[in-house]
A and B are shown apart, each in its own frame.
Chain A
Amino acid sequence: MLTRTTTSFLLSAMADHRNQDGWLEFDSRYRPILVAFARRLGLGEADAADAAQEALTRFLTALREGKFNRDRGSVRSWITGIARNCIRETHDRRARRREERGLSALNELPADENLIQIWDEECHRSLVQHALLELKEETHTDPKTIRAFELLALQGRTPAEVSQLMGMTRNDVYLAKHRCLTRLRYILDSLQEAYEMS
């Protein structure tokens, strides 16, 4: 489970070389987003993982060198900028390899104006994934309720099927769905606050 430490606090903690925890938390927050972002920009699984690693390393280095100034831009614009460069470099390397083999070396990177939007979408997607995990892990929501929600919302079963499978009334199935979604909204709000997205 992610902590609710704010991104600002994490950044100040990470600036200290001895603080491993801050860095680990930051890494688990942003690495999945970076990988998904790279994949959206056309990289394969392995290349995306490499690009994310490279972006995180450069981010940390720049942070510790004091190059990041909150007044000049958000964490988001900074990290998307770094990620974009890493992804572009990977694309360019691949293009050169293709050229050397006498193949077309077209760069498939999508239009740049969508970068922030793509980042936000992946960020949101990642937060929703974290929220789903937390929902499953937490104790005060009944496992049966969560199971009904999964069947209905995530596996595409009809309310009648879920009702039969779980031995619940149809209204209870709907109730389970809304309990889980309401809970998810709450978790998501607190995550967004920690990420300082709102």
Chain B
Amino acid sequence: MAAQTSSHCPDWEQLEAVFSADEPNPALSKHLDACLSCRERFAELRANNQLLQDVRAASRTWAGSPVESDVDVCRTSVPIGGYELVGEIHRGGQGVVYKAVHLATRRTVAVKVLAEGRLALPARHQRFQREIEVVAALRHPSIVTVYDSGLTADGRLFFAMELVDGLPLHEYVGKTAPRPSVPLPIDDALPLLCAICDGVNHAHQRGVIHRDLKPSNILVDVDQCPHIVDFGLAKAVGDESVIRQQSLVTAAGQFMGTLAYAAPEQFRGDPNAVDVRTDVYALGVILYELLTGRLPYPPSTTLSDTIRAITDVDPPPPSLSPSASSTGSAHRPPSGLNDDVVTIVLKALAKDPQRRYQTAGALAEDIRRYLRGDPIDARRDNAWYVFRKTIRRHRLPAAILSVFVVLLLAFGVGMSLMYRRTKLEAEKARQIKVFLEDTLGSVEPTAHGAEVTVPQILDEAVHWVEIALRGQPEIEASLRTTIGNSYRTLGLYDAAESQLTLAFEIHRRLFGQEHPLVAQSLNALGALARDRGDYDRAVDLIQRGLAMRRLLLGDQHFEVSVSLQNLASVFVRKADFASAEGLLRESLAVRLRLLTERHADIAMSQFQLAEVLRNGDHLIEAEELHRSAYQTRRTLLHDKHPDVERSLLALARTLMARGLWDEAEAMLRECVDRQRRTPRGDRSRLAEARGELGFCLASLGCLEEAEPLLLESYDHWRTTVGGENATTVEARRRLVSLYEQWGRSDLADRYGG
């Protein structure tokens, strides 16, 4: 053989030419096959050229310009029988992937070669061999097809696979997203993940678990089709010998998977705990990341902390980051993720595999249900949810829908509590369901059309309660409480008083003087008295409810924290901030002991405490608490939830107090816009937002624009709560001040007198 090859050893220039040549040099290749010394020189040259890239990168400074490369070190001529290697695609932990041409078929393929040749450990070889066997058995558009496998000339394992012209998922997202770190639009992310799930499901059905799913193992081609690669950790389900060897954290502490995508069970050291649902978890992490641009558990300072987070801490519900919300999908509200999507993601990320989707196919199917507008499976156990979803699917008029949603919200809390209680409670829940259906059915869309209002629906509800619930006083009281609270939040105080009083009387009749439900009624009546501005009565009622709850439930009970908060809110209205602050701190402390940190009720406590601090001129702390509460609410609640707007309004007030008028003005305009967009919404809240915007504009000197806002606000308070109410007085003071500023003494006198 040697006689047929070049008899002289090539010099360095000639060896370099092998790297840079477009065409392989058959004579040199043959010489290399025959000459050990040249093979060693060639190996050295290859290692040197690899280092050269690093040296060039290191020699660039931050301000400096890159040095142009005149040698393509990716070129290689590692001999592999039947293939011509034309470039290096990727260098990873397991091996190097080359672009190559299969000489017999001229097909361009990707060839993966074990990186460290003879130095590789036997375990690594076994893993590689298994990878080849496993992937070759799979045929699916979302899985990279394997064509061939074998040994290179120097005894290294390789396999040839479909060459995907695409980018790893993380790079694809980086290029597709409007800016780096901004996630994919939801309308792109969900179908993409479905296609990935389909591929994984195909593998699962053939007994193959990937075990190392992550964005860098998923290539996305120009048609946005994903292709899963690197089944390096895959194993056949039930293959005991493999299972024993493949515990994620091996005895040597070598971490084979990638931490962020590893499921909790992968840390338990029980190889049998790893099954198809481990991949479902990784898909959940990928989905979370696609939607939010963040990982559910960002790597912490230490490995053990990160593992602890994955195994013990609930992930924060996915939400769009502020940067994403401004560039989100054109088809959906950009500021928050739909509840269904959040539910799907959290179900895929459940710590207990039993609570996860049981297959990747089930995850894909639920996403498709969501995309079709059908009820998702993850919430099948919630009848109310399914009912609402069905109605939406049938496209009822928007007015009816909004009414329905309001009612659902009003009942939501009570319902969830009831489900946990006894059979009687279940019956109660069923009654309420019938009540909702009947009430909705009784509102004829054609008869009322767009004029259907929430008060009308509530009036229908009262009528229904009176007719249908005779002889079922407990359910009647429960519904009257809900309806009364709804009237109260709508500013319809007389109607609210009548419903809440009836509920209180029923509770007293049924349960006597001291009972949690009696306390609940006292609290509700107290809140109503507070909203009417009758603070003494409010304090009396709520304190009685609080004392009853402390006695019956103990100090460390959530209901106690509710009473504390309500009581504090009265003191706030009375401007007794010192009393309020003490109560709120106790309430917040109780909640922090009972709830997780990111919880709507914690946000409520922070909100109220911030309000008190704002009034006490502790503006920096107030602003911090408000921003925190606002963020939590934006994350946890849907975009139109009134608490989101309350937070926005309060934050704007804090900013005004700090003299940051411009930012406050923008927020207040958003508040007013939100209220205007809510048909027949809470008029008191609209009046409040308008009053604040008017005040802000007046302070900025925009008197003409401020006047109608302050006037409308004052009129609202005067007619709803009366001229002597503190809110009305304040609204009038602001109006008078505006006129004085304007030089309109006639008008100032008229309202001032």
User: Contact residues of A with B, CB < 8 Å?
Assistant: 39, 45, 72-73, 77-78, 80-82, 84-85, 100, 102, 106, 108, 110-113, 115-116, 124-126, 128-129, 132, 153-156, 158-159, 170-171, 174-175, 177-178, 181-182, 184-185, 188
Q: How far is the CA of A39 from the CA of B61 in the complex (A)?
A: 12
Q: How far is the CA of A85 from the CA of B298 in the complex (A)?
A: 13
By the criterion CB–CB under 8 Å, are B13 and A174 in contact?
yes
By the criterion CB–CB under 8 Å, are A174 and B48 in contact?
no
By the criterion CB–CB under 8 Å, are A153 and B294 in contact?
no
- How many residues on chain B are close to A (CB under 8 Å)? 42
Taking the nearest CB of chain B, how far is it from the CB of A35, in angstroms? 10
In the complex, the chain A residue whose C-beta lies closest to that of B55 is A128
Q: How far is the CA of A171 from the CA of B298 in the complex (A)?
A: 51
Q: Which residues of the other chain, B, contact A113 by a CB distance below 8 angstroms?
A: 259-260, 295, 298-299
In the complex, the chain A residue whose C-beta lies closest to that of B17 is A174
Q: Which residues of the other chain, B, contact A82 by a CB distance below 8 angstroms?
A: 301
A-B contact pairs, 9 of them (CB 8 A): A73-B302, A73-B304, A85-B301, A112-B295, A113-B295, A115-B299, A128-B55, A181-B51, A181-B55
Could you say which of B57, B58, B662 has the most chain A C-beta atoms within 10 Å of its C-beta? Answer: B58
Q: Which residues of the other chain, B, contact A158 by a CB distance below 8 angstroms?
A: 70
**Can you list, as one digit per residue, whether each of B325-344 has a CB less than 8 Å from chain A (1) or not (0)?**
00000000000000000000
Q: How far is the CA of A72 from the CA of B51 in the complex (A)?
A: 33
For window 553-609 of chain B, which residues contact chain A by CB distance below 8 Å?
A: none
Q: Which residues of the other chain, B, contact A72 by a CB distance below 8 angstroms?
A: 302, 304
Q: Which residues of the other chain, B, contact A177 by a CB distance below 8 angstroms?
A: 12, 48, 52
Q: Which residues of the other chain, A, contact B56 by a CB distance below 8 angstroms?
A: 153-154
B59 at the interface (CB under 8 A from A): yes
By the criterion CB–CB under 8 Å, are A108 and B181 in contact?
yes
Taking the nearest CB of chain A, how far is it from the CB of B187, in angstroms? 22
Known contacts A102-B663, A170-B13; A154/B55 CB under 8 A: yes
By the criterion CB–CB under 8 Å, are A188 and B67 in contact?
no
Known contacts A154-B67, A175-B12; A110/B181 CB under 8 A: yes
Q: How far is the CA of A78 from the CA of B298 in the complex (A)?
A: 15
User: Contact residues of B with A, CB < 8 Å?
Assistant: 11-13, 16, 44-45, 47-49, 51-52, 54-59, 62, 67-70, 180-181, 259-260, 289, 293-295, 298-304, 322-323, 660, 662-663
Q: Which residues of the other chain, A, contact B303 by a CB distance below 8 angstroms?
A: 73, 77
Could you say which of A113, A153, A159, A171 has the most chain B C-beta atoms within 10 Å of its C-beta? Answer: A113
Taking the nearest CB of chain B, how far is it from the CB of A146, in angstroms? 12
Please report whether the interface of chain A is mostly helix, strand, loop or mixed according to DSSP.
helix
From A77, A108, A128, A156, B54 is in contact (CB under 8 Å) with A128
Taking the nearest CB of chain A, how far is it from the CB of B346, in angstroms? 20
Q: Which residues of the other chain, B, contact A81 by a CB distance below 8 angstroms?
A: 300-302
By the criterion CB–CB under 8 Å, are A132 and B55 in contact?
yes
Q: How far is the CA of A72 from the CA of B308 in the complex (A)?
A: 13
Q: How far is the CA of A105 from the CA of B562 in the complex (A)?
A: 34
By the criterion CB–CB under 8 Å, are A102 and B13 in contact?
no
Q: How far is the CA of A177 from the CA of B20 in the complex (A)?
A: 15
Taking the nearest CB of chain B, how far is it from the CB of A182, in angstroms? 6
By the criterion CB–CB under 8 Å, are A111 and B295 in contact?
yes
Taking the nearest CB of chain B, how far is it from the CB of A118, in angstroms? 12
By the criterion CB–CB under 8 Å, are A125 and B67 in contact?
no
By the criterion CB–CB under 8 Å, are A132 and B298 in contact?
no
By the criterion CB–CB under 8 Å, are B660 and A156 in contact?
no
By the criterion CB–CB under 8 Å, are B322 and A106 in contact?
yes
Could you say which of A100, A111, A115 has the most chain B C-beta atoms within 10 Å of its C-beta? Answer: A111
Taking the nearest CB of chain B, how far is it from the CB of A67, in angstroms? 11
In the complex, the chain A residue whose C-beta lies closest to that of B258 is A113
In the complex, the chain B residue whose C-beta lies closest to that of A130 is B58
In the complex, the chain B residue whose C-beta lies closest to that of A73 is B302
Taking the nearest CB of chain A, how far is it from the CB of B317, in angstroms? 18
By the criterion CB–CB under 8 Å, are B55 and A178 in contact?
no
Q: How far is the CA of A124 from the CA of B56 in the complex (A)?
A: 12
Q: How far is the CA of A158 from the CA of B68 in the complex (A)?
A: 10
From A102, A156, A184, A185, B68 is in contact (CB under 8 Å) with A156
In the complex, the chain B residue whose C-beta lies closest to that of A174 is B12
By the criterion CB–CB under 8 Å, are A106 and B12 in contact?
no
Q: How far is the CA of A91 from the CA of B446 in the complex (A)?
A: 56
Q: How far is the CA of A188 from the CA of B54 in the complex (A)?
A: 11
By the criterion CB–CB under 8 Å, are B12 and A156 in contact?
no
Q: Which residues of the other chain, B, contact A115 by a CB distance below 8 angstroms?
A: 299
Q: Which residues of the other chain, A, contact B663 by a CB distance below 8 angstroms?
A: 102
Q: Which residues of the other chain, B, contact A132 by a CB distance below 8 angstroms?
A: 55, 58-59
By the criterion CB–CB under 8 Å, are B299 and A112 in contact?
yes
From B51, B57, B300, B302, A185 is in contact (CB under 8 Å) with B51
By the criterion CB–CB under 8 Å, are B13 and A111 in contact?
no
By the criterion CB–CB under 8 Å, are A156 and B51 in contact?
no
